[in-house]
Amino acid sequence: MKILIHFTHTPYGSDASRELLDMALAHATFGHQVSLVFSGEGIFNLLPDQLAKPAGRKEFTRLFKGLDLYDIEKLYVVNDDLDALNLKQDQLIDGIEPIKLGSLGALFAANNQVISL
């Protein structure tokens, strides 16, 4: 089964991103083909060296760097949103593939299930 997890929330503003990451790891553990896409404020999950302590939460964003250990190798970022947030691709962790906003529908359609919170 091909599953796409869509991150749209900041990493420490709520539990949504942590819960989505947990879902991704669980699905990958059971042999599903998992991909991740980051848009809007969800892109902030991809910035290295996040500080969770000021937000009063446990740090989890470092796990994004080790997703290949779970065979999660397809990570996408919506370029249009990257530009809107005044961020550049080289500011993100390595291994992220940029896609255009117009390609998001095709990416959704290419998967059996899309999960977003």
The domain spans of the chain are 2-116
Architecture (CATH level 2) of domain 2-116 = 3-Layer(aba) Sandwich (3.40)
Question: What string of DSSP letters covers 44-109?
Answer: GGGSSS---GGGTS---GGGGGGGGGGT--EEEEEHHHHHHTT--GGGSPSSEEEE-GGGHHHHHH
Residue 88: exposed, middle, or buried by beta-carbon count in 10 A (0-12, 13-18, 19+)? exposed
pLDDT at 71: 95
Mean pLDDT for the stretch of residues 84-88: 96
> pLDDT tens digit string along 45-72?
999 877 655 556 677 777 888 899 999 9
- To the nearest 10°, report the CA torsion of 20, 25, 30, 32: 70
